[in-house]
Homo-oligomer: A and B are copies of this chain.
């Protein structure tokens, strides 16, 4: 699995991001740090061109508007035609009617290689319901040892419904392709005190899936555990030095170039489940 790290560095895949303006700089920087080449473009008239020269497409609805939703549809359809993997990040799903309708429309018209969200977002996709929590997970939706079985069942159901790898992020992350299931326990609570860890994870998934679309399950596992590993190392450094969240974020992005395949293999906490 760790050979995917070398593939990213060797191929430097172009990753097309249609994403929010809050964390877009961090997304570009983590793609670059692991060896990819980021491109952000969201105009309806150019996204078909841009995705055609890309190796993966990352769609994030964090600050969606009517213009960019149309662009996501156009880019996603073109990517599907060309066999380019598409990653969906349904940020804030449940928080507004527009988000629900837009994400549903994307799910109906585009085949996603990977769908990634926190439990609140994933549940909102499953039930097409409205939530109260904005873009952060609701407290009642934390994945715990009590709820892990139910959470895995939900992830598998959606993975089969959409023929996608599905990721539910949390203190324990779940990754499934509908059959195989892995849980990941890297990470640190301090990660929830900076914005962008979810979006950066999505961009990383795009970067790793880009180099071997047939191994989207492995590539996604790497990206999710890589973010958790970077986060736990960064949080430890910030705590040791009695620093705050901005220092932690700096260390986290630093880790993206410092963690190679070998370091990742030693540090990743991945468990194969039923």
Contacts and interface: CB of A to CB of B under 8 A. Distances in A.
B14 A40 contact: no
A25 B26 CA distance: 9
B21 A99 contact: no
A179 interface: no
A98 B42 contact: no
A195 interface: yes
Given A25-B26, A64-B43, A95 B53 contact: yes
A243 B33 CA distance: 12
Interface stretch (A103-111, A214-222, A247-255, A262-270): A247-255
Nearest to A230: B244
Nearest to A20: B40
A142 interface: no
Nearest to A43: B65
Contacts of A45: 66, 96-98
A132 interface: yes
A270 to B, nearest CB: 23
Contacts of A255: 244
A14 B256 CA distance: 30
Contacts of A38: 134-135, 195
Contacts of A161: none
Contact of A96 (B40, B41, B258): B41
Nearest to A254: B244
A46 interface: yes
Given A25-B26, A41-B92, 13 more contacts: A21-B40, A22-B28, A32-B192, A38-B134, A39-B95, A50-B96, A50-B134, A53-B132, A242-B258, A243-B258, A244-B255, A245-B253, A246-B253
